[in-house]
Amino acid sequence: MSSRRLAVAITTALLLAVGATACESGDSGGPASGGKIALLLPESQTTRYEQHDRPLFEARVKELCADCEIIYSNAQQDQSRQQQQAEAALNNGAQVLVLDPVDGAAAATIVSLAKSKNVPVISYDRLIQNAPVDYYISFDNERVGQLQGETLVNRLKELGKTSGDIVMINGSPTDNNAKLFNKGAHSALDTSGFKTVPTPDFFTPEWKPENAQKFMEGQIAQLGKDGFVGVYAANDGTAGGAISAMRAAGITPVPPTTGQDAELAAIQRIVGGDQYMTVYKAFKPEADRAAELAVALLKGEKPSTDRTVNNGATEVPSFLLEPQSVTRENVKETVVADKLYTIEQICTSAYAAACQAAGLT
Ligand code: BGC
C-alpha cells in the first residue's frame, strides 16, 4: 500500500474509532471546547520539530478545538530540562501530554508524574520505555533503517561494488528510535556482502551533527580516504556532519551516504549529488494523528488502534506510519508532490544546474 493510502486508511480508522467511542459514551462527537494540551519536543537542531511537527500539530488541534490551549516546549536535547518543562506544563494545568522524549528511559519519570495527576501521555515519534504510556504514534522505525540499508546497498551494487566497509553513524544512544533504525539497517547490511565499521556500533551523542562530523574525521584518519565504500548516517543532520568531514578531507565524489527526515538541506545535497538518499516520514499524518488523539483524550474518549507496541511495561496502543525512501529520481513525486517544499525552495541559484540535470526545472 502506498504511504498516502496507508495514511488515509489510518486516518479513517482513527476517525471511526473516535466516532465509535463518542457514540458509546453518548457524546455528540462535535468539536471539543477548552482544555490544555502540552506538546513537548526534544530538540531544534533537526529542522523537523520547529518547521513541521509543531506548526502542524498546533493547526490540527485548533481545527478540532478552537478554544484549546497548547503549552509548547522544546528541551534542546536536555532531559532534565524536558523534565522541568513537563512539570511546568502539569502545574499549569495540562490535561494531556504529547511527549517526544530526549531520553526514552528517563522519561518514565514524567509519565509517573502525569499518571499521579490522571493526565494521559501520548508518546510522540519516540517510544517512552517501561512506563504506562497511553498511546504511541510514530513510523515503522525498523523499516526506516531497512530502507536506508537497502537503498545504500542497491546503489553500491549499481556502482559495481560488492564488498567493502560502510561507516555506520547511528543516532542518539538515549533514543529508542536510534536502536530501531540500527536494527533495521543491520537487517539489510549484514547479508549484503558489505561490512559495517566500527565494531561495536557508534551512536552519536545527542544526535549532534558536529559529533557525527568529529567521528567521521576519525574514521577517515583510520581507514584512509578511500578505505570505505559508503556511509550509513541515521538522519540528515548526522549525514550533513559526515559529508562535511569527507569534503574537508578532499574526498570527491562523496561515496553514497544515507539520511532521514527529508530536510531541505538534505534534499539539496541529494539533488547536487553529495548525499544519496533520505527517508521521508510524512510529518502531517503523524502530527495530525497526535493532535486528533490528544483532543479525543481531552474529551475523555479512548480511541482504539489496530496494533500495540510493547514498551517493557505494557502493550501500548499504537499507530505506525509507513516511511518512504527519497533519491534524486523521486524528489518530485515525494516531497514536492506533498508540498513539503516548492521547486523554488530546492532549486536556489547554487543548485540551478543540478536541478536542471535532475529534471526538476
Ligand atoms: C526522529 C528523527 C530525527 C531524530 C533526531 C528521531 O527520533 O525519528 O526523525 O531525525 O530523532 O531528532
The predicted structure's pLDDT at residue 317:
98
Does the CB atom of residue 123 touch ligand 1 within 6 A? Answer: no
Å from CA of 240 to ligand 1 middle:
14
Does the CB atom of residue 170 touch ligand 1 within 6 A? Answer: no
Check for a shared fold between 3-133+282-322 and 142-280+325-356. Answer: yes
- The grid coordinates listed for 235 are 538522519
Contact 109, 147 (CB under 8 A): no
Q: 3-133+282-322 in CATH: which number? A: 3.40.50.2300
Closest residue (by CA) to atom 10 of ligand 1?
235
- The grid coordinates listed for 301 are 474518549
What average pLDDT is seen over the chain?
Answer: 93
The predicted structure's pLDDT at residue 4:
46
The predicted structure's pLDDT at residue 33:
73
Å from CA of 178 to ligand 1 middle:
8
Contact 141, 181 (CB under 8 A): yes
b vs e for 104-126, b when ≥16 Cβ sit within 10 Å of the residue's Cβ?
Answer: bebbbbbbebbeeeebbbbbbbb
The C-alpha atoms of residue 51 and residue 265 are separated, in whole angstroms, by 13
Show me where the domains of the chain are located. Answer: 3-133+282-322, 142-280+325-356
Å from CA of 26 to ligand 1 middle:
39
> Order of strands, edge to edge, in the sheet holding 315-321?
69-74, 36-41, 96-99, 121-124, 135-139, 315-321, 307-310
Ligand 1 closest atom vs CA 141:
8
Question: Which runs of E-coded beta strand occur in 235-333?
Answer: 278-280, 307-310, 315-321, 324-326
For the domain with range 142-280+325-356, which CATH number is right: 3.30.70.1150, 1.25.40.390, 3.30.460.80, 3.40.50.2300? 3.40.50.2300
The predicted structure's pLDDT at residue 21:
38
The predicted structure's pLDDT at residue 31:
57
Write the DSSP symbol of residue 257: B
The predicted structure's pLDDT at residue 9:
45
Write the DSSP symbol of residue 167: E
Average pLDDT rounded to a whole number, residues 313-340: 97
The C-alpha atoms of residue 3 and residue 59 are separated, in whole angstroms, by 22
Closest residue (by CA) to atom 9 of ligand 1?
261
pLDDT in tens, 24-81: 333 445 556 789 999 999 999 999 999 999 999 999 999 999 999 999 999 999 999 9
pLDDT at 18 over 80: no
pLDDT at 137 over 70: yes
The predicted structure's pLDDT at residue 94:
98
Give the percent of the chain with pLDDT over 90: 91
- The grid coordinates listed for 275 are 548525499
Å from CA of 125 to ligand 1 middle:
8
- The grid coordinates listed for 16 are 471511526
Q: Which pLDDT band holds residue 156 (cuts at 50, 70, 90)?
A: very high
Contact 3, 340 (CB under 8 A): no
Neighbouring-strand partners of residue 197? 167
Does the CB atom of residue 150 touch ligand 1 within 6 A? Answer: no
Does the CB atom of residue 126 touch ligand 1 within 6 A? Answer: yes
Does the CB atom of residue 261 touch ligand 1 within 6 A? Answer: yes
pLDDT at 8 over 70: no
The predicted structure's pLDDT at residue 32:
62
pLDDT in tens, 240-268: 999 999 999 999 999 999 999 999 999 99
Average pLDDT rounded to a whole number, residues 99-125: 98
Å from CA of 152 to ligand 1 middle:
19
Å from CA of 172 to ligand 1 middle:
9
Å from CA of 212 to ligand 1 middle:
14
Ligand 1 closest atom vs CA 207:
5
Does the CB atom of residue 269 touch ligand 1 within 6 A? Answer: no
